[in-house]
Each structure stands twice: as structure tokens, then as C-alpha cells.
């Protein structure tokens, strides 16, 4: 596959096949920030990839597989500068997502201020 789109949302990064419209079928890789450890640039035999290290999907039996349960899907990128840019943007979006998870919702903060002695 030579061309595709990368959609970096507030919770998930999607790699999509090109087309006139987008549906679930267009997604060839979807990684939630909850499952993503990090994104980095990788090189192999002169080709450049974006590698997403993520938690392994649980098996259908629900039994955890022993050993490091990680997956490292790699997506070929046409040049290194673009790969670096994608990697930086995905890692930045992931850090914003985690920052958001750590923040108290405004309503909780307001309630706790009212109830403090």
C-alpha cells in the first residue's frame, strides 16, 4: 500500500486506506492511547517505518500469554522526515490524552472546594 492517511484523534490514532469516504473498512490499523506505550521511527533494509509499541490484544480465551505482552505494528513511511513528524505527533497526542486522564473534571474540583473545612 503506497498511500494512506493518518488520523490522530484525542483518544486513538488511525491509519486509513485512501478513498472517497471513510468507514470502518478503511481502517487498517487502530491504536488506542490506552494501549500505546510509544511510537518511534524504525529503519529496516533502507526503508523507514513508524513503529507503534502497544499492549498485546488479549487472546480469545482470555488467558494472558506469558512473556512480554507487546505488539509492534510497523507502517512503511515514504521518507524519514515524515516518519519523524508522525511519530512526534502521535507521542504528543498520547501525552495530552494521559494529561487529560489525570485532571479532575471541573465539577469534581468545584465540589471538593465547597466541602473542604
Q: Using 50, 70 and 90 to split pLDDT, how confident is the model at 23?
A: confident
For the cut 60, the answer to whether the pLDDT of residue 50 exceeds it is yes
HEC profile of 18-80: CCCCCCHHHEEEEEECCCEEEEEEEEECCEEEEEEEEECCCCCCCCCCCCCCEECCEEEECCH
- pLDDT value of residue 101: 86
- pLDDT value of residue 63: 58
Q: What is the pTM of this model?
A: 0.76
For the cut 90, the answer to whether the pLDDT of residue 21 exceeds it is no
Going from the N-terminus, what domains does the chain have, and what CATH number goes with each?
5-57+68-105 (2.30.29.30)
More confident residue, 115 or 35: 35
56-70 pLDDT, tens digit per residue, is 865 555 555 555 567
More confident residue, 34 or 21: 34
For the cut 60, the answer to whether the pLDDT of residue 116 exceeds it is no
Strand order in the sheet with 5-8: 5-8, 12-16, 27-32
Amino acid at each position: 500500500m503506497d498511500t494512506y492517511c493518518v488520523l490522530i484523534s484525542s483518544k486513538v490514532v488511525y491509519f486509513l486506506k485512501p478513498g472517497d469516504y471513510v468507514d470502518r473498512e478503511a481502517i487498517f490499523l487502530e491504536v488506542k492511547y490506552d494501549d500505546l506505550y510509544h511510537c518511534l521511527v524504525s529503519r529496516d533494509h533502507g526503508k523507514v517505518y513508524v513503529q507503534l509499541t502497544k499492549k498485546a490484544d488479549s487472546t480469545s480465551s482470555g488467558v494472558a500469554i506469558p512473556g512480554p505482552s507487546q505488539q509492534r505494528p510497523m507502517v512503511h513511511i515514504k521518507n524519514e522526515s515524515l516518519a519523524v513528524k508522525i511519530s512526534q505527533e502521535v507521542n504528543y497526542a498520547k501525552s495530552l490524552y494521559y494529561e487529560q486522564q489525570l485532571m479532575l473534571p471541573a465539577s469534581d474540583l468545584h465540589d471538593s472546594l465547597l466541602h473542604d473545612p
